[in-house]
Amino acid sequence: IIMSPVRSIASYDKAFVNGEWVSAKSSKTFKVLNPYNGEVLSNVPDMDSIDVQDAIQAAKIAFEDWQFTTGKERSDLLRKWYNLLLKNQKEIASIITSEAGKPLQEALGEVAYGNSFIEWFSEEARRISGEVVSSPVKTKEMILVKQPIGVTALITPWNFPIAMITRKAGAALAAGCTCVIKPAEDTPLTALAVADLAHEAGIPKGVINVVTCDRGNAPAVGKVLCESPDVAGLSFTGSTEVGKLLYQQCASGVKRVGLELGGNAPFIVFSSADVDRAVEGAMASKFRNCGQTCVSANRFLIQDTIFDSFLEKIKSKMQLLVLGSGTDSKTNLGPLINETQAKKVDDIVQDAVQKGAKLLYGGKIASHIGERFFEPTLITNVTPEMKCYTEEIFGPVVVCVKFNSEADAIEIANNTRRGLAGYFYSNNLAQVWRVAKHLEVGMVGINEGIISSAEAAFGGIKESGIGREGSHHGIEEFTYVKYMCFGNL
Ligand code: ADP
């Protein structure tokens, strides 16, 4: 059978509920824009609290059967979905470039990464096993089985339009859960294309639902998803502010929550490091997706003896970055997602400069290319009063801080309520072990700037989140342990 490919971008103009393409009951729609030039890519339903109820009911009904499918059956369906995603990788990457702005090469990388979660969880679906406990009583046997938690709500951000969805939905489906996905308002088209392929792969109706809505309706839709008694758990990736609100909303129903929130990643370069490698890692960590990832290096801490050489080397690499359209093969730095984000980055940089930071490169919106483009920027002489020191920048800005001792570096690195990723470069073995243990983060890159992978456990500590995604831990978020006690044996 020849499966039909992903459709043209503009034809994704409906939400996906219970295996059908549907409009909002209010008939309202909102525009999805290309961040490169502001072109309207499509109009999608602006759903509200009533529409999301339908999706929850569809997922609830689908769960009745889906929860009792075998791991092997779910594995086969996930594998079919994966094969279709693979076959359509170029088409999906092109949708991502259109709605998120990232260069096509990067979008292809994201699709490979995003697809890998479906492949991984298709394999893991067959390995969800329980335990037989050694009973202390002769007449009893005790068994722990894992069961899916139920209908799950998946709320995702725009920075990885496919990966943030597959990482959650792959795990949820493998576990036997059904889901209602609320993609980010900036990038709903990728989500719809991915759901289209899930449908095509034979995943039953109601198992995956995609409810689209604009920013205005997001709080109402989110509230229903958190508070409906028919939803068992929430998995959210996004800002710390919204994550805290959703966590509170989930409290009244004692819902299972998985939160992947903002980071404030330190990137430490010790004097023993290979500075060229460190610069390479710094560039990858900072400029991937134009700095718009929650694991992007946010604060560069450089030991005094190599400070000047690091600055000089990273500046020369930054001079090679080319801003432009994601579809132009020369471009390696796309626009920021929207004007609000561009203004926010500009505000952080201007605040630092006004408070006395030294601007070594860039520093402003690149208006000659577009209002959403920000110049790659290098600043130093920063102090803790500056926004760039404490806030998640989410833009192409390298902020460098000089430190003297290892203890200073660790203190600065840990002096934040966030704890997602941390990176450091060192060739001193004892120091590597010490620093890796002391960093208060969920993930550490050691002499490495890119750490994400379906096989590894992604997640944070402190205010950066709860739970893990990817690896076999990712499935645990969607199962509960049921204890069965067989008596009078
Ligand atoms: P970002 O700063 O990356 O846009 P947000 O946390 O604002 O991060 O958005 C992440 C996701 O959360 C998006 O899908 C957005 O629509 C959604 N969202 C924003 N506010 C709410 C809310 N009050 N309730 C539910 N979802 C929300």
Strands laid side by side in the 397-403 sheet: 358-361, 377-380, 397-403, 297-303, 265-269, 421-425, 443-446
Q: What is the CB neighbour count within 10 angstroms for residue 80?
A: 19
Rounded to the nearest 10°, the torsion over CA 112, 117, 122, 126 is 140
Cα 187 to averaged position of ligand 1 atoms, centre (Å)? 12
pLDDT tens by residue, 310-336: 999 999 999 999 999 999 999 999 999
Cα angle 144, 146, 150 (rounded to 5 degrees) comes to 140
pLDDT of residue 3: 56
Sequence letter at residue 382: V
Give backbone dihedrals phi and psi of 58, rounded to 5 degrees, phi first: -60, -40
Distance CA 334, CA 432 (A): 34
The pTM of this model reads: 0.96
Sequence letter at residue 149: I
CB 423 within 8 A of CB 266: yes
Decide whether any atom of ligand 1 lies within 6 Å of the 452 Cβ. no
The H-assigned helical ranges of 231-306 are 240-251, 275-287
pLDDT of residue 5: 74
Q: What is the CB neighbour count within 10 angstroms for residue 355?
A: 15
Active site positions, annotated: 260
Cα 341 to averaged position of ligand 1 atoms, centre (Å)? 14
For β-strands 256-260 and 465-466, DSSP reports them as antiparallel
pLDDT of residue 150: 98
Q: Which two tokens stand for residue 223?
A: 């509230």
Decide whether any atom of ligand 1 lies within 6 Å of the 155 Cβ. yes
Distance CA 487, CA 397 (A): 64
Which residue, by CA, sits nearest to atom 15 of ligand 1? 184
Pocket probe mutation, ligand 1, options 241, 242, 244, 247, max atoms within 8 Å of Cβ:
242
User: Which residues of the chain have a pLDDT value below 50?
Assistant: 1-2
pLDDT of residue 1: 47
Distance CA 294, CA 236 (A): 13
pLDDT tens by residue, 51-109: 999 999 999 999 999 999 999 999 999 999 999 999 999 999 999 999 999 999 999 99
Decide whether any atom of ligand 1 lies within 6 Å of the 245 Cβ. yes
CB 260 within 8 A of CB 160: no
Decide whether any atom of ligand 1 lies within 6 Å of the 156 Cβ. yes
Give backbone dihedrals phi and psi of 374, rounded to 5 degrees, phi first: -120, 140
pLDDT of residue 6: 86
Distance CA 149, CA 128 (A): 14
Decide whether any atom of ligand 1 lies within 6 Å of the 157 Cβ. yes
- List Cβ neighbours of 440 (8 Å cut-off, separation of 6 or more): 413, 414, 419, 461, 462
The residue to which tokens 């893990």 are assigned: 468
pLDDT of residue 4: 61
CB 35 within 8 A of CB 338: yes
For 24, 139, 182, the CA distances from 211, given in Å and listed in that order, are 9, 51, 5
Give the residue from 312, 290, 303 showing the smallest Cα distance to 369.
Answer: 290
